[in-house]
């Protein structure tokens, strides 16, 4: 549905999206271990409408759970580009915000939002499941207000994102076919 | 006399280890010359029965200009470890590949080749393993300046430099604690 033209249908669509967020089960760093308690009976994220999805094309939300090596970042970007609009990104931990304890590491990125648009950051090292649920509620609020438009932002600023990605990957840049096919992303 | 002490006497008679000592109760460590490594390891494996290869590691002795290769083997029946060390030149970092003794040495040597730049002669598959598209010097060498590399390749988030530094914050308390 077109997000340029907000109206009552868009409001209803956003209300529905908010209550049915499918999370891509892709753990990148140490935060992957916080996902099982969040999802299972102890904290039970399913009461917020959160469930796991098997593949990127079925998922709405990509949780970046911790530090990102440049090698992992490449996979994350490919995964993100394969997801369908609307898509959201929730980044956990101080590593994704400013490098965290890997601030002088030679192969960990320092700012995630240079490479993909991030909707909500959750600070902490690592954030506990309560904090993750708090971040999910913040994301739901953003979705309801129609401000979670990361996909649109990525589409409009694709050259800037690709320039930043090229600075990290150098010659081994990602292939174009995940985003530059007919009709765009 | 325990098994390891007997083994130590045998090793001292057979090879010319520089330092032969017990870092831990069930661990014998000794440093041999480059040409004796294969002999020492095959003696431990075939005669003494250290059948299990635990790990191969590399230590960078920057001040001496040496790399130290550490081979650790495990005796499954006596429940003891042995550690064979050797030092190679840092400038011309080369060593013979021992992948024919235990096949898992292949992977360790490939990683050390990538992270320290030690060339293993006779290795069947020296190609990039963990790093992708790496053009700088091998990153685990101690003279590799990670902060300089980060400043060149990544962008900092503003505000990070003004946040409190743990070293300054706990500095005095840490120094006092260390004096004790």
For A166-179, the pLDDT digits (tens) are: 988 887 788 877 76
HEC states along chain B? Answer: CCHHHHHHHHHHHHCCCCCEEEEECCEEEEEECHHHHHHHHHHHHHHHCCCEEEEEEEEEECCCCEEEEEEEEEECCCCEEEEEEEEEECCCCEEECCCCCCCCHHHHHHHHHHHHCCEEECCCCCCCCCCCCCCCCCCCCCCCCHHHHHHHHCCCCCCCCCCCCHHHHCHHHHHHHHHC
Task: Name the minimum distance, in Å, from the CA of B148 to any CA of chain A.
Answer: 9
What is the pLDDT at residue B164? Answer: 65
Q: Report residue A46 CA to chain centroid gap.
A: 18
CB atoms near residue A180 (< 10 Å): 12
Task: Name the minimum distance, in Å, from the CA of A67 to any CA of chain B.
Answer: 14
Tell how strand B80-89 and strand B66-75 pair up. Answer: antiparallel
For A111, which of B135, B149, B155 is closest by C-beta distance?
B155
Interface predicted TM-score of the whole assembly (ipTM), two decimals: 0.80
State whether CATH 3.40.190.10 applies to domain A8-178: no
Q: Write the burial class of residue A27 (CB in 10 Å: 0-12 exposed, 13-18 middle, 19+ buried).
A: middle
The mean pLDDT value for B140-150 works out to 91
Residue in A closest to B153 by C-alpha: A168
* Per-residue pLDDT at B66 exceeds 60: yes
B137 touches chain A (CB under 8 A): no
Task: Name the minimum distance, in Å, from the CA of A167 to any CA of chain B.
Answer: 7
Residue in A closest to B139 by C-alpha: A106
In this prediction, the residues of chain A whose per-residue pLDDT falls under 50 are: 1-2, 185
What is the pLDDT at residue B174? Answer: 78
| 3-state secondary structure (DSSP) of residue A91 | strand
Domains and CATH numbers, chain B: 3-129 (3.30.460.80)
Interface test with B, best of A93, A107, A160 (most B CBs within 10 A): A107
- Residue A105 CA to residue A102 CA, distance in Å, equals 5
The domain locations on chain A are 8-178
What is the pLDDT at residue A1? Answer: 47
- Are A60 and A14 in contact, with CB atoms under 8 Å apart? no
CB atoms near residue B156 (< 10 Å): 14
- Residue B120 CA to residue B123 CA, distance in Å, equals 6
Interface test with B, best of A69, A94, A99, A106 (most B CBs within 10 A): A106
Per this entry, what is the length of chain B? Answer: 180
What is the pLDDT at residue A30? Answer: 87
Q: Name the maximum alpha-carbon separation found in chain B.
A: 64
Task: Name the minimum distance, in Å, from the CA of A47 to any CA of chain B.
Answer: 35
For B157, which of A105, A110, A169 is closest by C-beta distance?
A110
Q: Write the burial class of residue B5 (CB in 10 Å: 0-12 exposed, 13-18 middle, 19+ buried).
A: exposed
Using a CB-CB cut-off of 8 Å, the residues of chain A touching B115 are none
């Amino acid at each position: 549905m077109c997000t340029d033209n907000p109206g009552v249908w868009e409001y209803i669509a956003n209300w529905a999206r908010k209550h049915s967020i499918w999370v891509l089960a892709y753990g990148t760093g140490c935060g992957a271990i916080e996902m099982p308690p969040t999802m299972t009976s102890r904290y039970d994220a399913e009461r917020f409408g959160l469930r796991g999805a098997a593949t990127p094309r079925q998922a709405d939300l990509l949780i970046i759970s911790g530090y990102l090596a440049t090698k992992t970042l490449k996979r994350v970007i490919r995964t993100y580009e394969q997801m369908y609009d609307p898509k959201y990104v929730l980044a956990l931990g101080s590593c994704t915000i400013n490098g965290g304890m890997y601030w002088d590491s030679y192969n960990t990125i320092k700012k995630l939002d240079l490479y993909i648009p991030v909707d909500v950051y959750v600070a902490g090292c690592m954030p506990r499941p309560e904090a993750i649920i708090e971040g999910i509620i913040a994301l739901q609020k953003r979705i309801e207000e129609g401000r979670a438009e990361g996909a649109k932002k990525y589409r409009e600023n694709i050259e800037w994102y690709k320039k930043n990605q090229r600075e990290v990957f150098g010659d081994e840049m990602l292939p174009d076919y995940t985003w530059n096919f007919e009709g765009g992303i | 006399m325990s098994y390891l002490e007997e083994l130590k006497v045998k090793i001292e008679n057979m090879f010319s280890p520089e330092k032969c000592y017990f870092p831990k109760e069930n661990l014998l460590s000794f440093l041999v010359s480059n040409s004796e490594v294969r002999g020492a390891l095959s003696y431990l494996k075939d005669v003494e029965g250290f059948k299990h290869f635990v790990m191969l590691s590399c230590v960078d002795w920057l001040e001496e200009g040496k790399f130290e290769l550490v081979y650790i083997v495990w005796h499954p029946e006596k429940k003891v470890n042995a550690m064979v060390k050797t030092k190679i030149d840092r400038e011309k970092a080369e060593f013979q590949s021992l992948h024919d003794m235990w096949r898992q040495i292949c992977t360790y040597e490939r990683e050390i080749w990538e992270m320290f730049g030690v060339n293993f002669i006779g290795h069947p598959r020296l190609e990039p393993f963990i790093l992708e598209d790496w053009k700088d010097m091998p990153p685990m060498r101690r003279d590799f300046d990670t902060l300089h590399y980060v400043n060149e390749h990544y962008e900092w988030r503003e505000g990070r430099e003004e946040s409190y530094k743990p070293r300054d914050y706990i500095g005095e308390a840490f120094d006092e604690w260390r004096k004790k």
